[in-house]
A and B are shown apart, each in its own frame.
Chain A
């Protein structure tokens, strides 16, 4: 039996990338930056967003899109800080799909200035799906172990910023901070690293400044 070969050169994730591109165009029209916060469950992503609400108050009016497999607890936590928050419940889904984010954006108040997305807690899947963000922000806590960047390089490699959370706990842990910094640099030598504590406020001002810089970059 003879065979025919059809050469195509089409992205495997073509459908998802189209959604992400549409989102990028939508955000560009509004001059909104959108940050995709990705980290393990319990890395302190929601606490970080809660703390950023305080630091960015009066500087960037942002909305939050929360992704979780179940419950609207995170959206409720963020909303309690006076932030407009939308919860996407993904069910079995291990990441936020670009289409779901695009749909959620349409419901946000028009007077906003940017969006912070908290992706489903997971170091692997969310890194593989572009949602149209301005930048990915990789969130790693000091309670997770210093070698995580080496074990999950895709996320840390793609991130535009690296955030090390819960640094107030360092005195209580056997966490090799220098080894962690080294591991992050081995995977990503260019992204800025912010060592922060949502509890004490340490490092948050620098992170907030970086987020604002990206906004200015999107405004041309």
Chain B
């Protein structure tokens, strides 16, 4: 469910970028988004919302491409660093709490345009 609200923000940012750069309707082909595993976004729900929310906007017809970096953590006690599987946020080696080093990203990386 939160995919729709998050996608509304995403579309607002995309439309703002297009307007700021005076990029005309139909030129945007692809939006590349990085959404770390922490955000638990369902790609199908996000792409469905994206198609719906871009209809009749200058971004209509563009594709949403999602990259999902895995969770990466560093132990604050023993220095261990590695991948963790949600929902356990503990050090594999010593059991202490870990700090997230990756997997919490949520940003637009790139807009792909067709040349006029």
Residues in A lying within 8 Å of B, measured CB to CB: 1-16, 93-95, 97, 124-125, 128-129, 149-151, 153-154, 157, 185-190
Contacts and interface: CB of A to CB of B under 8 A. Distances in A.
A129 B6 CA distance: 9
A32 to B, nearest CB: 26
A8 B111 contact: yes
A79 B26 CA distance: 52
Interface in B1-59: 1-2, 5-6, 9-10, 12-13, 16-17, 21, 29, 33, 35, 38-40
Contacts of B96: 189
A157 B1 contact: no
Nearest to B4: A94
B1 A125 contact: yes
A15 B109 CA distance: 16
A190 B108 contact: no
Contact of B89 (A93, A151, A188): A188
Give the contact-size bracket for chain B. 20 to 34
B108 A10 contact: yes
A187 B87 contact: yes
Contacts of B87: 149-151, 153, 157, 186-187
A145 to B, nearest CB: 14
Contacts of A16: 9
Given A6-B113, A10-B17, A189-B96, A157 B5 contact: no
B65 interface: no
Contact of A153 (B21, B86, B110, B113): B86
A11 B106 contact: yes
A4 to B, nearest CB: 5
B93 interface: no
A2 B116 CA distance: 9
A190 B13 CA distance: 34
B12 A95 contact: no
Contacts of B13: 10-12, 14-15
